[in-house]
Amino acid sequence: MTDDFTQQRGPAQAPAATSSSPRARLRRFRVDVGTIICAVALLQSMLLVAFGYWGAEQLVSKVGESAHKVNHDRVEDNVLAFLAKTEALVRAIAHTPSLHPAGHDGDRTAELLWAALEQTPELDSIDVASDDGHLLMAMRYPEAAVRQVLRDADFSTETWEYKQPPDGDGDEDPRQRYETTRIEAFRSDDDPTSDEDFVQAMKAQRPVWTSPFVLPAENELGVSHARPSRRRDDEGRTQTLVVSASVSLGHLSSLVRLFGGTGHGHSALLSADHHVIARSDNPHLVRVLEDPDGGVLGALHAHMLASDSRGWTQDMAFALDHGGARYQVQTSHIPSTGWRLVSWEPEDALLGGLHRNVLWSLLLTLSFLAVSLFISLRLSKLVTAPIENLSRTARRIGRLELDALPRESSRVFEIQNLSQALDDSARSLRAFSKFVPVDVIKQLVAEGHALAPNGSPRRVTAMFTDVEGFTSISESMEAGVLMRQLTEYFNLATRVFARHGGVVDKFMGDGIMVLWGAPADLPDAEYRACIASLELHDEMKALNRKWREEGLQEFRTRIGIHTGVVIAGVLGSSDRLSYTALGDVVNVASRIEGTNKQLGTHTLISETTFAGLGGRLSTRRIEESIELRGRQTRMVLYELVGPADSATGSL
């Protein structure tokens, strides 16, 4: 019973197994070309849109960084220019030979300091102090004046000569600009040697930018560039002078205020000990140093500290989120002062418009993509049906079923071309089948026979060319130069031959073998070959003229032409074939070319070739029959002279 039951179920299971085979599943999931094209196009479009959107966002971010960096660099250049100008001014004053805050050089020093202050409106004061407690200062604030301090043992004597403000246009008389409006003199306890700029310069014994300190005359925080200068006084004693140029922190803030020109960003200068010494959003009097706590400045300062020493010594560019807004931040290190320039700008104000444009572009692109996909699905039907019909026609042609093949008409240009190409192939095979039995062709195709050597007689005109004296030329030239000349020569020759239907059979050193009439029949082959030889000589004149101007040797071409029947076809071994021509005609053409050397001519043609010209070109008959090397029979040769208007004669 078990066996019978098994035998009864077996046939019923066979169809199920067949229907679930991979081949059946492939048939069920087969799709047409249009669907594949649309799917691939959709996938590519989505990838392009995604990458395009990502690239646009990256580009917008780069644009924002670049725009912000430009503004930051402007502020940095302004600060660096101020520092460099101040350092150069202090250095020039310190190198003045007659510099002294008191004595007979005091008046000239006062005039020097006042003139320097006029030229640097960024500075609040310029002074020179000596190690014996004397001071001479030209100051702009709180009032324009020249202040002199002479230190005695118990007190100091101060003299204030008030001047006109040193910020005029400078067109009036310098003496009037320097004229004293009033003088005040009094005693004080001020000791210039205890001033912060003097103390820091003497301690460093080199030019130094001081840390912020209270400017004595202005009661406001500022910084100075102080430079010590050693010299000997009139009595030969060594004395140290300190030249200082000071600027208040309020005025220093104006240097970083340029960033506010766009109305969005701000900048700040942080000292080496992490205090705010200037900021564009608060350019007021500064009497107390502030820490960069709170606000955007505090957040970016914390980010810099989180980057360890790199955040304080290296330039940085980063984005910062604070208070629900995103900021572009740039930082720069000022080496000469140890300061840190930081700037920040809200990204939405800088790039908000660009981000919105990119988003709108994405939405428009997706909409256009949806419309394009719908149109593509409709148009694909116009392509897939004709292609399927053409594929059936191609399979019939492959089986050599060439009768009553249908033509496929379509509005698609490529399908029309494909249909025409298949029709041309069918007509060619139909014509070929008149000469070769179709059954034989089918058998060869089925058995996979490869192309074998073959050849057939064909009437051709053969040409051989040679460069006169090439052996001596090659011995006297470098290989690179010789190869360049040969390449130019071969390029010119092949262009001329191709223009007149010639086929280059092979290159032989400096020589060329050319065929007219193989592999395809060519009418009037003799005339075409002779015209090509004349044009080659003419064009070689221009090439030789160019070589002559370059100091190179000239090539003079010798040509031999003969016409007759050869064996032309695919010749060679079973695994290496080439199309060429063999026979006496080829050998004779080569010997004729060599006879040019004996006769001193450039182009010789055989009597057979001469007959094919029909008098259309000018020739000269060689009077005596020529015995060619390797041949017992003499031949009549002609020298090809030129066009038919040249007189025909004999040599």
506 & 630 share domain: yes
Give the CATH number of the domain where residue 521 resides: 3.30.70.1230
| Alpha-carbon separation of residue 185 from 108, 149, 232, 279 (angstroms) | 20, 10, 29, 38
User: How many residues does the structure list for the chain?
Assistant: 651
| 213-215 vs 276-279, strand pairing mode | unpaired
Last residue of a domain, one of 293, 324, 350: 350
565 & 465 share domain: yes
> Amino acid identity of 47?
L
> Which residues, at least 6 apart from 489, have a Cβ–Cβ distance to it below 8 Å?
467, 540, 543, 555
Nearest-angstrom CA–CA distance, 45 and 267: 44
pLDDT in tens, 373-414: 777 766 676 667 777 777 888 877 776 777 777 777 776 677
| 617-621 vs 649-650, strand pairing mode | parallel
pLDDT at 537 over 90: yes
Last residue of a domain, one of 328, 350, 372: 350
539 & 639 share domain: yes
Average pLDDT, stretch 118-123?
A: 87
Cβ atoms of 326 and 320 closer than 8 Å: yes
Q: Map residue 345 onto helix, strand or coil.
A: strand
Mean pLDDT, the chain, integer: 79
pLDDT at 35 over 60: yes
pLDDT at 564 over 90: yes
Taking alpha carbons only, the member of 311, 310, 268 closest to residue 291 is: 268
461 & 534 share domain: yes
- Alpha helices in 145-229, H assignment, sequence order: 174-177, 196-204
User: Is there a domain that residue 41 lies in?
Assistant: no
User: Is there a domain that residue 622 lies in?
Assistant: yes
pLDDT at 15: 43
User: Is there a domain that residue 83 lies in?
Assistant: no
499 & 476 share domain: yes
User: Is there a domain that residue 378 lies in?
Assistant: no
Cβ atoms of 493 and 512 closer than 8 Å: yes
Q: For 235-292, give the DSSP string.
A: TS-EEEEEEEEEEEHHHHHHHTGGGGGGSS-EEEEE-TTS-EEEETT--S---S-B--
The backbone torsions φ and ψ at residue 614, rounded to the nearest 5 degrees and listed phi first, read 65, 30
Banded pLDDT at 10 (limits 50, 70, 90)? very low
424 & 339 share domain: no
Task: Classify residue 480 by its DSSP letter.
Answer: H
* C-alpha atoms less than 13 angstroms from C-alpha of 405 in its C-beta half-sphere: 27
Cβ atoms of 198 and 226 closer than 8 Å: yes
Average pLDDT, stretch 429-456?
A: 53
Provide the 10 A C-beta neighbour count for residue 400.
Answer: 15
Give the CATH number of the domain where residue 342 resides: 3.30.450.20
Taking alpha carbons only, the member of 498, 524, 503 closest to residue 514 is: 503
243 & 259 share domain: no
Nearest-angstrom CA–CA distance, 266 and 283: 11
- Alpha helices in 522-650, H assignment, sequence order: 525-549, 584-599, 607-613
> Amino acid identity of 100?
H
The percent of residues in the chain predicted with pLDDT above 90, rounded, is 24
pLDDT in tens, 174-198: 777 788 889 999 998 888 888 888 9
Q: Which domain range does residue 229 map to?
A: 97-248
User: Is there a domain that residue 361 lies in?
Assistant: no
The count of domains in the chain is 4
Nearest-angstrom CA–CA distance, 174 and 176: 5
414 & 552 share domain: no
430-439, 531-540, 635-644: the lowest-pLDDT one: 430-439
pLDDT at 266 over 80: yes
3-state secondary structure 92-157: HHHCCCCCCCCHHHHHHHHHHHHHHHHHCCCCCEEEEEECCCCEEEEECCCCCEEEEEEECCCCEE
Last residue of a domain, one of 409, 428, 449: 449
Taking alpha carbons only, the member of 513, 495, 522, 510 closest to residue 562 is: 513
557 & 622 share domain: yes
Instruction: List, in sequence order, every residue forming a beta bridge with 604; answer none if it has no partner.
Output: 560, 639
Give Dmax (Cα) for the chain.
141
pLDDT in tens, 289-342: 788 877 888 888 888 888 765 556 678 888 888 888 888 888 888 888 888 888
510 & 646 share domain: yes
Cis-peptide, bond into residue 519, ω within 30° of zero: yes
pLDDT at 617 over 80: yes
Element (H, E) at 395: helix 347-398
pLDDT at 32: 60
Taking alpha carbons only, the member of 313, 282, 252, 281 closest to residue 82 is: 252
Banded pLDDT at 447 (limits 50, 70, 90)? very low
431 & 489 share domain: no
Q: Who has greater pLDDT, 7 or 331? A: 331
275 & 419 share domain: no
pLDDT at 649: 47
| Alpha-carbon separation of residue 447 from 140, 427, 450, 570, 632 (angstroms) | 108, 24, 9, 21, 50
